[in-house]
Amino acid sequence: MIGDNMEINNAQRAQILIEALPYIKKYYNKIIVIKYGGNAMINDDLKEAVMGDIVLLSLIGIKVVLVHGGGPEITEMLSKVGKKTEFVDGLRVTDKEAVDIVQMVLAGKINKNLVNLLQNKGGKAIGLCGIDGHMIKAEQLDERLGYVGEITDVNVDPILDVLEKGYIPVVSTIGYDDEGNSYNINADTAAARIAGQLKCESLFSMTDIDGILRDKNDPSTLISKINVSDAPQLIREGVISGGMIPKVNCCIEAIRRGVGKVFIIDGRIPHAILIETLTDEGIGTMFVSGNYYEH
């Protein structure tokens, strides 16, 4: 009989949908930004799940903006053309030849593949990169890094235009300057700035960790909510360390620029976005400002 063992019966299905209703209502017609990266981008099953989640959210009236990186595919393409990848302070050294390849992989291959996947799942999507509509203006971050950009300005009009027409904007993080140069932009940084400029309801950053753990070896020590004013202390204590520091700084930046809530979620968990947006459970770490309150 349906309902025995682990199967869900119709009454349980209905209950799940009813429980999702307040969350659907809360996010209806609001903008959320999803920064997509990590294992969820490499593993085909997870990729399918993420794209399905995004289409579902879009179809229930949530305006989803997808911002993506693509580090592993860039590294793979650079090695195919015989270019060795070097990193300085966690950022990829990008010379003129490399930035052309970065642009080709990010704005071409990855971006269009994601658009295709979303559309195959029943969504409507349009691919954009930071050069389109002069969206992400940048300048050189550091001479040692070459064409790695620091964002100087963000114009979200192209994103808003695409959302208004009922499409999901899929944004690859290539920047431009007035001299016609292209820049490789860190996807976490770009997502935070775009989310801040949109004053969106929430930013979801997909990573390959559970969230912020008080003890990095114990998943039960997940910190489910962090006030941005407490984050510097957690960095000093070493709770937030290494590669998580720049990610957390991006979360803080987004909140300070007007984003309601920022979530760091584990993209290795199937349907992580749905669990975080439409259930009581919540699976990652939520960052909020001091004056935050739940409406």
- Which residues are identified as catalytic? 35, 38, 71, 188, 247
d(CA 128, CA 204) in angstroms, rounded, equals 19
DSSP H helices in 81-230: 96-103, 111-120, 157-164, 187-198
The DSSP-derived string for 26-44 is: HHTT-EEEEEE-THHHHSH
Q: Determine contact, residues 244/212, Cβ cutoff 8 Å.
A: yes
The CA–CA distances, whole Å, from 281 to 27, 28, 157, 278 equal 16, 19, 34, 9
Q: What is the DSSP letter of 153?
A: E
Q: What is the DSSP letter of 214?
A: S
d(CA 120, CA 138) in angstroms, rounded, equals 34
> 215: which 2 tokens?
């003890």
Which amino acid appears at position 175 of this protein?
G
Phi, psi of 125, deg, nearest 5: -135, 150
The CA–CA distances, whole Å, from 112 to 51, 68, 92, 170 equal 13, 11, 23, 9
d(CA 200, CA 205) in angstroms, rounded, equals 14
CA 110 from centre of chain: 15
Q: Determine contact, residues 110/76, Cβ cutoff 8 Å.
A: no
